[in-house]
Amino acid sequence: MEKEFLITEFDLERLEALLERCWDVSCFDNKNLEALQKKILNCIVVPPEYIPGTIITMNSTFTIENEATNKTETYTLVFPEHADIDGNKISILAPIGTAVLGHRVGESIEWAAPSGHRQIRFVEIHFQPETAGQFDT
């Protein structure tokens, strides 16, 4: 059975619109679009004010730990037009972006990085729009 994730109504609307815009655009990898679509189809949708502050939502800034190296990295999960790898802003359409959406602090996941499988653990959320009262960010 697949894990169910929480997602806000606002994030779901924006992600569905993003998928609709991207399906026939050649610069997007359909494999990544399919992974995001599958993930949001299995989500439990909640009003933004009810999402726990320990869950990664769109525009959240969080720290992960590579469990093999114990190295930590901090990222912000963003929409493709705001992605900036030098600024540690990862696109929801990148494999790691789709992988982290909806996970909680303390959870570990394995995901397929371009360099092979990685095991990461979610260490901390530094900023989550909903916790900050920004329900439409």
Q: Would you list the DSSP string of 51-65? A: S-TTB--TT-EEEEE
pTM of the predicted protein model: 0.92
Q: Is CATH 3.10.50.30 correct for 5-127? A: yes
- In tens digits, what is the pLDDT along the chain, a chain of 137 residues? 457 789 999 999 999 999 998 887 766 778 889 999 999 998 999 999 999 999 999 999 999 999 999 999 999 999 999 999 999 999 999 999 999 999 999 999 997 777 788 899 999 999 999 999 887 77
Closest listed residue to residue 40, CA positions, set 88, 86, 2, 74: 2
- Could you give the 3-state DSSP secondary structure of residue 77? strand
